[in-house]
Structure 1
Amino acid sequence: MTWRLRRACPGDAPALSLVAAASFLETFAGIIAGPDMVRHCTSNSCPAKFDAWVVDPASVVTLAEHPDGAAPVGYTLLTPPDLPIATDAHDIELRRIYALSLTRGSGLGHQLMARAVDDARAMGRRRMVLGVLGINAQARAFYEREGFTLAGTRQFRVGEALFDDVVYAKTL
């Protein structure tokens, strides 16, 4: 299947918010408490957040759509780095890369990553960094297959729970 990838534009925030919350729920149900997850998605994946990222010249939001009907199925978000490792103006953070489970095994994850790398290079960035839940073996294996290596650790709070993340980096 050929997924449609495009740069998000004003007006895409509701679709991005929907796929963000759905993919977060699919990924972390059973790990993050339900009420904490709902609060986190309501505040961190709301349309207003996506509206701001879409128009921010320092950020890039890519939306993946199903080829039949253009339903949102995944997205990436590149932003200036906000991680506890040394960074400079040539770095960019892959703050989010998510795809709905119906896309697993289809190559969409690799397509989204390739597009994010291309976008980062077009912005003049030389290194991409990201944080991921340390116990998320599937995501970690994906990042390692994509050429990322360990660069540090951090703790990430969702509601009342504190999670141990790892930080990866990749030279572009």
Structure 2
Amino acid sequence: MENLIIRAATEADDGPLAELDARTWSTLHAVQPRPEPPYGPFFTERNRPGHILVADAGGRHAGYIRLVPPTPLAVNAHVRQIQGLAVDDAFRGHGLGRALVRAAMEEARRQGATRITLRVLAHNAPARSLYEAEGFAVEGVLPGEFLLDGGYVDDVLMGRLLTA
């Protein structure tokens, strides 16, 4: 994909990321209610620009990934967790999700992490396939963790080491 830059988010990304989040909402991956206009703010106390990598495709917000420490505990400081990945429909099928996951792993390494984890809904086969292709393994399952569209959905815990 030409003209693709993956960069750290800035405060100026707030509105475009809120709109992207609303456009990409689906029960395939979201457990929160569908966002309603007016959208935003995207950035909050828990969701700061420093947690987000943005996929910028020629000035368009094509996607993002959220990478955070899973807890504030010092004994857990070696772990980073992916807590959100979104790719605009117009950019799907071009390897953007894979590029974002790889950028998140590189950023986690840069931050000193040796392990990366995530949670994915069991029925989200495309995301699970992507994560598995990038070396993530299922480490646990929370059966029936969420009630979505009238059915119970498992929450799948995945992780991988970041060392060579």
The equivalent residue for 1:148 is 136
> Structure 1 residues 113-122 or 156-165, which shifts more?
156-165
Structure 2 residue 159 is matched with structure 1 residue 169: yes
Q: Displacement of 1:47 after TM fit?
A: 3.2
TM-score by length of 1: 0.76
TM-score by length of 2: 0.79
Give the secondary structure class of the aligned counterpart of 1:105: coil
> For each residue in 1:1-55, what CA deviation from the matched residue of structure 2 results, as whole angstroms up to 9, or x when unmatched?
2222110011211111111121123x63xx989xx732xx35xxx6345243235
Structure 2 residue 10 is matched with structure 1 residue 9: yes
Partner of residue 112 from structure 2, selected from 121, 124, 127: 124
Give unmatched runs, 5+ long, in structure 2. none
Which is helix-richer, 1 or 2?
1
The aligned amino acid for 2:92 is R
Give the secondary structure class of the aligned counterpart of 2:104: helix
Give the secondary structure class of the aligned counterpart of 1:37: coil
Q: How does 1:29-44 map to 2 (within 5 A)?
A: 37-38=33-34, 41=35
> For each residue in 1:91-139, what CA deviation from the matched residue of structure 2 results, as whole angstroms up to 9, or x when unmatched?
1110011111221221211211111011111111111110111011111
Structure 2 residue 64 is matched with structure 1 residue 72: no
Give unmatched runs, 5+ long, in structure 1. none
**2: CA distance between counterparts of 1:156 and 1:167?**
14
**1: CA distance between counterparts of 2:68 and 2:158?**
15
Give the secondary structure class of the aligned counterpart of 1:11: helix
**2: CA distance between counterparts of 1:11 and 1:165?**
33
The aligned amino acid for 1:66 is A
Q: Displacement of 1:167 after TM fit?
A: 0.7
The equivalent residue for 2:121 is 133
Pairwise CA RMSD = 2.7
Aligned residues between the structures:
153
8 Å CA contact 1:152–1:168 kept in 2: the answer is yes
Q: Displacement of 1:162 after TM fit?
A: 5.2
- CA shift in 2, pair 1:139/1:111, >3 Å: same
Identity %: 29
